[in-house]
Amino acid sequence: MRLEDILKSGAPELGVPLSENAVAGLRAYYELLMRRNAEFNLTAIKGEEDAARLHFLDCLGLISVCDLRNKRVADVGAGGGFPGWPVRIAEPSVDITLIDSTEKKVNFLREVGEELGLEASCIHARAEELGQGEARESFDAVLSRAVARLNILSELCLPLVKPGGFFAAMKAEDSDLEIKEAENAIKLLGGAEPEIREYRIPGTEIIRRVLIIRKIKPTPLKYPRRYGAIKKAPL
Ligand code: SAM
């Protein structure tokens, strides 16, 4: 099946509206991703069927479980642009910031914006450094997929979220242990207990779990720590 057909039948299953413009944008993004993959090592997924489902529909599902419209949103550890670029392509009112610590990936993320004619801030930085700078508590929502275990990831992401906003972590269906392990970190960083939302990625048997962690208190100034300390002694 063509990428366009998979997206047009899968998005309604997720309850996500997808314009013709968005479908064309995702096609252009896919072509660029495949062209640059060898050089930048952006994804292990090859072929349009798998990319349409395991990257695009997976990320579009986020729109069905959290309201991102008109919000200032960051994607921490965006890599090749997931979930941030598909979310921005499908929901143009999102003001997106894509963050990654690998410069060549950030250069690719910028190239996507130029090629598709879309605005995004693409920042080459470590999230924990941004969390101690101007970007601290400046986003309505922070998204992340496949970056770190939840206890570590929470320290990278929650300091960037405004009190009243939320952090949405894309995790696997069997993430109960990971959630338990992160309870203390989330509490210390000002987050509420995770709300679990799930969807099946259309055309697959994969259940995606999104953990929505609302920020109910400001993060204490001592967090985030430097990466060495976060890794050595997770909260
Ligand atoms: N989110 C993308 C996805 O789901 O396809 C990429 C996942 S990739 C496995 C993890 C990415 O996180 C890498 O591109 C890496 O450079 C980035 N990363 C890891 N730690 C980070 C940090 N502390 N701050 C910013 N980016 C980080």
Structure confidence by residue, pLDDT tens digits, 126-184: 999 999 999 999 999 999 999 999 999 999 999 999 999 999 999 999 999 999 999 99
- In whole angstroms, give the CA distance from residue 187 to residue 203: 37
Ligand 1 pocket mutation, candidates 55, 101, 149, criterion most atoms within 8 A of CB:
101
Residue 38 confidence class, pLDDT cut points 50, 70, 90: confident
Stated pTM of the model: 0.97
What confidence score (pLDDT) does residue 23 get?
A: 98
The strand order across the sheet containing 72-76 reads 121-124, 95-100, 72-76, 139-145, 161-172, 207-214, 195-200
66 C-alpha vs ligand 1 centroid, how far in Å? Answer: 21
Q: Identify the pLDDT of residue 226.
A: 96
- Helix (H) or strand (E) segment spanning residue 186: helix 176-188
At position 141, the amino acid (one-letter code) is A
Would you list the domain boundaries of the chain?
3-232
Query: Whose CA is closest to atom 23 on ligand 1?
Result: 126
Q: What CATH architecture applies to the domain 3-232? A: 3-Layer(aba) Sandwich (3.40)
For residue 25, report the distance from its CA to the centre of ligand 1, in Å. 23
Rounded mean pLDDT of the chain? 97
Provide the pLDDT for residue 45: 84
Whether residue 77 has its Cβ less than 6 Å from ligand 1: yes
Mutate to test the pocket of ligand 1, among 55, 97, 100 (most ligand atoms within 8 A of CB): 100
Which pLDDT value is given to residue 43?
82
User: Is 44 or 107 the better-scoring residue by pLDDT?
Assistant: 107
- Residue 218's contacts (CB-CB under 8 Å, 6 or more residues apart) are 137, 163, 190
| 8 A C-beta contact, residue 182 and residue 154 | yes
The better pLDDT of the pair 211, 45 is held by 211
Over range 75-100, report the average pLDDT. 98
pLDDT at residue 197, as a whole number: 98
- CA dist., res. 144 & res. 114, Å (int): 23
Non-local (6+) Cβ contacts of 68 within 8 A are: 62, 87, 91, 94, 141
Taking residue 188's Cβ as centre, other Cβ atoms within 10 Å add up to 17
Q: Is the pLDDT of residue 46 over 90?
A: no
Confidence of residue 55 (pLDDT cuts 50, 70, 90): very high
pLDDT band for 70, please (50, 70, 90 cuts).
Answer: very high
Confidence band for 200, pLDDT divided at 50, 70 and 90: very high
Question: Confidence class of residue 41 from pLDDT cuts 50, 70 and 90?
Answer: confident
At 170, give phi and psi (nearest 5°): -85, 115
Q: What is the mean pLDDT of residues 187-191?
A: 98
- pLDDT at site 44: 86
In this prediction, residue 40 carries a pLDDT of 84
Confidence class of residue 115 from pLDDT cuts 50, 70 and 90? Answer: very high
Residue 126 CA to ligand 1 centre (angstroms): 9
CA atoms within 13 A on the CB side of 18: 29
For residue 42, what pLDDT band results from cuts at 50, 70 and 90?
Answer: confident
Whether ligand 1 lies within 6 angstroms of the CB of 128 is answered as yes
Q: Is 147 in the pocket of ligand 1 (CB under 6 A)?
A: yes
Contacts of 106 (CB under 8 A, 6+ apart): 98, 100, 122, 123, 124
